[in-house]
Amino acid sequence: MKKRERTLILMEILSILRDGPRGPTRLAQATGLSFDKFMEFATLLDSRRFIAKSTSESHDIYFVTPEGNQLLLDWERLWTKISPNSR
């Protein structure tokens, strides 16, 4: 399996969360990462305030912040311009 770039994984997490909040296990599954590896990325995104975590009924739920949503929009605009399939 080809290794994905860190940036693409970060944007994938933001993209998934844009569709709605999710727990860490579901996010790890959706991204195809191990739980520990996912938590590394979640910690990074959380420390930069691109995602946030709330606790409901003893379960952590992650959601994208306005800053994270803006980052994702900017990334998508840039990706569209540089993507080989953009023309």
Strand-pairing partners, residue 60, are 55
Is residue 61 classed as helix, strand or coil in its secondary structure? strand
Structure tokens at 73: 């929009």
**Structure confidence by residue, pLDDT tens digits, 12-30:** 999 999 999 999 999 999 9
CA distances from 27 to 22, 23, 38 (A): 6, 6, 8
Exposure on the CB side of residue 87, measured as CA atoms within 13 A: 2
Cite the DSSP H helix spans in 1-87.
Answer: 6-18, 24-31, 35-47, 66-82
Lowest mean per-residue pLDDT among 5-9, 52-56, 68-72, 80-84: 80-84
pTM: 0.88
